[in-house]
Each structure stands twice: as structure tokens, then as C-alpha cells.
């Protein structure tokens, strides 16, 4: 399908987490139409292999291409960490992930040169943040920690109180933030919901970096470079697609998007070969 200025921005995530990125996109580019796909029938991606996450990412992209999207935003850290090369090779449109934008903010933020990254097991094992940071400033010292329980805590809505504080203490307490680390990258779109607990455990000397806004800035640049910016107020559309039944997405998603979702369409994904 052909695309032009009026075509929508496509965004996908394994589920609801990427709505934090969509929220930043809508704030940064309010006139643009958007199509968001949450692969809720296969969520989560963070504990699955790179091979399977790449296969699912290609299927998500194919479904969004049918909406004539002009740019694809991979609003999932795990998919951004493992599937960008395959997506860029397969798609005729620009593909923006969340890792490079988050890494640039972190590299620009740190004064001590010591950065910590937290994310899903898949994101951390991929080394994608470590590589992105090293390519920006090779002298940076980077530590990382997988935090698999943060995703179910955020989805359960347990975002303050004893349980998330203890879990955060367990993940962040054992040396991750010692010795001068001043910047902590929230390398998963679910983690901004736990921001206040993570900040309390990390302490005031640590700046938390959330890549949603940086990713929205990068999308604005890409559209500008290609003269694909929509300039009219008219006909701005919001579509939501899910692969499981919509109820839970609509309910939990409102917490991530910051306002209610009027409806979501359930689709069946076709996996390539």
C-alpha cells in the first residue's frame, strides 16, 4: 500500500507497554494518525528467544503495513533489541526502535560516565543497550540487570507499596548502582509505571532515563527528513489492534496511555514461512 503525509504512524509492542511510547508520540506529533498493535495473544516477548521475537515482529509489521503506515515504531525494547535488522531488511519504510534513542539520552545525561541498564531477560542478554552506548561514547562503563518481575508487577497494577519496593531492592540493591552510577536506563516500556519505586530505591543522585520521549523525537526527525509530516488538523485517527480479545487491553492499557481507549479490533496474525 502506498503512503504519503496523511498515512498513519504504525506502532507495535508485545502488549500494553508500548502505549507509553504511543503517549509520547501523540504529545510530540498530535496531528499524526496512529495505528497501534499489541500482540496480546503472545505477550510477553521479554522471556522468549530472539528467533521467536523476530518472527512475531515481522508478523506485526505485516499487519500494520496493511494500514498503509509511513513509518514503523518498534515500541518494545525486546523486539528493538533483536529484530531491527530483520525488520529493516523486510520493510519498504523507515523503522525506528526505542533503544538507540534511549541510549543517546543516557549518554548525554551521565556525568560520571557510569550507566546502568535494566530490562527484560531478552533485552539484557542481547547486549543491545551496551552496544548502542559503546558506539556513542566508548569510554562509558555500563552495567546491566534483567528484572523479569517488573513486567507482571506493572500489569498487576502493584506499582507502590512493600512488594515492588522489595523486588526493586533485590534487583537494584546488589551492586548494580554502587560506585558512581548516576544514570539508570529503564530499558522496558513497562518500567515507567514503577518509576517512583525505582527512583526511591536508586536514590536522588541517579537520573532515570525513559526512552519514550526520545523515540518520539526521533520519529519526528525521520518524518521531517522525508517530508512526510502531516500538517492538517483534519482526519487524525487512532486505531488499536490486538491479537487476543480486547477487554484486558482496554482495561490495563488506560493506565499506560494515561486516558481511556474507546475500542480495539482483534486480528489474526499470519506468521511468515
Q: Which residues are catalytic?
A: 76, 188
- The 3-state DSSP class for residue 21 equals helix
- Is 176 a binding residue for its own copies by CB under 8 A? The answer is no
- Is 158 a binding residue for its own copies by CB under 8 A? The answer is yes
- Is 173 a binding residue for its own copies by CB under 8 A? The answer is no
Q: How far is CA 217 from CA 101, 149, 214, in A?
A: 8, 30, 5
Q: How far is CA 98 from CA 52, 101, 201, 234, 248, in A?
A: 19, 6, 25, 29, 25
Q: How far is the CB of 202 from its own copies (least distance, A)?
A: 18
Number of residues that bind its own copies (CB under 8 A): 27
Measure the CA–CA gap between 269 and 217, rounded to whole angstroms: 29
- Is 205 a binding residue for its own copies by CB under 8 A? The answer is no
Measure the CA–CA gap between 148 and 162, rounded to whole angstroms: 18
- Is 251 a binding residue for its own copies by CB under 8 A? The answer is no
- Is 152 a binding residue for its own copies by CB under 8 A? The answer is yes
- Is 133 a binding residue for its own copies by CB under 8 A? The answer is no
Question: Radius of gyration of the chain from Cα atoms?
Answer: 18
Among 141, 182, 217, 244, binds its own copies (CB under 8 A): 244
Stretch that binds its own copies, among 80-88, 149-157, 177-185, 253-261 (CB under 8 A): 149-157
Measure the CA–CA gap between 22 and 212, rounded to whole angstroms: 8
Measure the CA–CA gap between 74 and 80, rounded to whole angstroms: 6
Q: How far is the CB of 151 from its own copies (least distance, A)?
A: 8
Which parts of this chain interact with its own copies (CB under 8 A)?
40-43, 47-49, 51-52, 148-149, 151-153, 155-156, 158, 162-163, 166-167, 170, 243-245, 247-248
Amino acid at each position: 500500500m502506498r503512503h504519503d503525509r496523511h498515512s498513519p504512524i504504525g506502532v507495535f509492542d508485545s502488549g500494553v507497554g508500548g502505549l507509553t511510547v504511543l503517549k509520547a508520540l501523540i504529545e510530540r506529533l498530535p496531528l499524526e494518525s496512529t495505528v497501534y498493535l499489541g500482540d496480546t495473544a503472545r505477550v510477553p516477548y521479554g522471556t522468549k528467544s530472539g528467533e521467536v521475537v523476530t518472527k512475531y515482529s515481522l508478523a506485526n509489521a505485516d499487519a500494520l503495513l496493511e494500514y498503509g503506515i509511513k513509518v514503523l515504531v518498534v515500541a518494545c525494547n525486546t523486539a528493538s533489541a533483536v529484530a531491527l535488522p530483520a525488520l529493516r531488511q523486510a520493510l519498504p519504510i523507515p523503522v525506528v526502535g526505542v533503544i538507540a534513542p534511549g541510549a543517546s539520552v543516557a549518554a548525554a545525561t551521565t556525568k560520571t560516565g557510569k550507566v546502568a541498564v535494566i530490562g527484560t531477560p531478552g533485552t539484557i542478554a542481547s547486549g543491545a543497550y551496551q552496544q548502542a552506548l559503546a558506539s556513542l561514547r566508548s569510554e562509558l562503563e555500563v552495567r546491566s540487570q534483567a528484572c523479569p518481575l517488573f513486567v507482571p508487577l506493572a500489569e498487576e497494577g502493584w506499582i507502590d507499596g512493600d512488594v515492588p519496593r522489595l523486588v526493586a531492592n533485590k534487583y537494584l540493591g546488589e551492586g548494580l548502582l554502587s560506585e558512581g552510577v548516576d544514570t539508570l536506563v529503564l530499558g522496558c516500556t513497562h518500567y515507567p509505571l514503577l518509576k517512583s519505586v525505582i527512583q526511591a530505591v536508586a536514590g536522588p543522585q541517579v537520573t532515570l532515563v525513559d526512552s519514550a520521549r526520545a523515540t518520539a523525537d526521533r520519529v519526528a526527525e525521520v518524518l521531517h527528513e522525508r517530508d512526510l509530516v502531516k500538517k492538517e488538523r483534519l482526519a487524525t485517527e487512532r486505531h488499536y489492534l490486538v491479537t487476543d480479545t480486547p477487554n484486558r487491553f482496554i482495561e490495563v492499557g488506560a493506565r499506560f496511555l494515561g486516558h481511556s481507549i474507546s475500542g480495539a479490533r482483534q486480528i489474526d496474525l499470519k506468521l511468515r514461512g
